[in-house]
Amino acid sequence: MLLVSVLGIGAIVLGLALHSHIVKVKAAKMANVVPPAPYFPPSAVWNQDVSNAPVDPQSSNIIAWLANAGGWGNGNKMQVDFDIRVVQADASTPFVPFRKGPGFMSPDSDEISKFPLPAGGGAEGETNYQCPAEDEDCHLIVADRAHGKLYEAYQANYTGNVLTASFVAVWDLNRVYPRSGRGDQCTSADAAGFPIAPLLFNADELATGSINHAIRFILPNPRMRAKVFVFPATHAGGPSGPASAPPYGVHFRLKSSFDMSQLSPPAQVVARAMQKYGMFLADGGRIALTAQSDQDTMAKYADLGFGPHDLQAIKVTDFEVLAMGKPIPLNDECWRNK
C-alpha cells in the first residue's frame, strides 16, 4: 500500500512537472510574437475606446428581447468560427484578371479589372481560391499593404486563370472613412457595409494579450430588426425581426461587471476587447464570432489553448447597447462615396 501511495504521488508530481513544461514551451513559442499592424488609421470607428460611451435608452429592452428570442443562435452559445482567412499580399504578389460574376452587385461593388492573388492562399473555409458551388457564402479577403489596399470579395471563384465574384470592395487602408463608409445604403462583403478584416481578432493578438479594435459579430436573421440599420453600418441584409430586435450596425459592449474568472486567459483577451472597443453587428448567421484564420495561425491558436467554445460563458445579458441614434430605413439606393 505504501509503495502504491508513493507511486501515485510520484505520478502526480511528474504530471504537474510535465504540464508546467508544456506551458513554458507554449509561452516560449509565442514570446516573440509581433503585434499585428492595424488595417486602418487609429481614428477609424472600430479603433475607438468606448469604455465610457453612453448606453442607448433602449438597451435593456433590446437585450431582454434578444435573450428571450434565443440569444446568439447555435443553442444560444457564443461560439467562434475559424473559417475566414485574411491572405497577406506583398509587393511581389501577382495580380490576376477579374471579371464580374453572376448577379454582380452594382453600384455597390468596385469596378476593377485585376485582383491580387498570393500563392498558397484560399477563400473562406478552403485551401484554394475556388468556392464550391454548394457553398454560396464564400468570402475572399486579401490585404495588400504594399499598395495600401484591402480587397474583400463575396462568392469569389478562381478558375481558368480568371477570378470572378458577385461582389468586390477595395478599401483604402490609409483612409478614415466618413460616417457613411463606402456609401450610404451600400453593402460590402458583409451585409452591414463594414470591412471584415479589421473586425476579426487573430492568434497573434491573443498572444500579445491585447486586441485593439472592435469585434465583428453576427446573429440569425430572425433576431435582427427588419429593413433598418444604424451608423456606422450603411446597409442591412434580409432580417425579419420586430422593432424590439437589434438593427444592423448596433454596437454592443460587454459590461464592466462581467466576471473574467469564468474564462481562460486567451478568452479574457477577447472579453477585454469587448469591454473596451465593443462589437458591431455585421451580418446574419448562427456562429456569433469570427476569428481570423490561415494555414499557420491555427497552430498558434492551439499553442495558446484557445478553441471555438472558450467564450460560451458570455451571455447576451452580459452586454449593453451603446447609443445608436435613429435607425435608418433600408432603400437599397446605393450612393457611393468618392
pLDDT tens sequence across 134-170? 667 789 999 999 999 999 999 999 999 999 999 999 9
How many angstroms separate the CA atoms of 196 and 193, rounded? Answer: 9
pLDDT above 80: residue 100: yes
The tally of domains found in the chain comes to 1
The reply to whether 14 falls in a domain is no
- pLDDT at 299 (0 to 100): 87
Cβ contact 314:258 at 8 Å: yes
Higher pLDDT, 5 or 174: 174
DSSP 70: T
pLDDT above 50: residue 21: no
pLDDT above 90: residue 68: yes
Cell numbers given for 38: 492595424
pTM: 0.89
How many angstroms separate the CA atoms of 147 and 150, rounded? Answer: 9
Name residue 61's amino acid: N
The reply to whether 156 falls in a domain is yes
The reply to whether 12 falls in a domain is no
- pLDDT at 296 (0 to 100): 66
State mean pLDDT over 83-94: 95
The reply to whether 38 falls in a domain is no
Q: Percent of the chain at pLDDT above 90?
A: 81
State mean pLDDT over 241-252: 96
The reply to whether 10 falls in a domain is no
- pLDDT at 165 (0 to 100): 96
- pLDDT at 36 (0 to 100): 79
State mean pLDDT over 68-85: 96
pLDDT above 60: residue 25: no
The reply to whether 25 falls in a domain is no
Residue ranges of alpha helices (H) inside the chain are 2-30, 59-68, 203-208, 265-276, 297-304
User: How many of the other CB atoms lie within 10 Å of CB of 153?
Assistant: 29
Q: What is the domain extent for residue 192?
A: 45-336
- pLDDT at 214 (0 to 100): 98
**Backbone dihedral region for residue 234 (phi beyond 0: left; psi -120 to 50: alpha; all else: beta):** alpha
Confidence of residue 27 (pLDDT cuts 50, 70, 90): very low
Confidence of residue 35 (pLDDT cuts 50, 70, 90): confident
Cβ contact 86:200 at 8 Å: yes
pLDDT above 70: residue 3: no
pLDDT above 90: residue 115: yes
The reply to whether 59 falls in a domain is yes
- pLDDT at 298 (0 to 100): 79
> Chain centroid to CA 251: how far?
14
> Chain centroid to CA 229: how far?
19
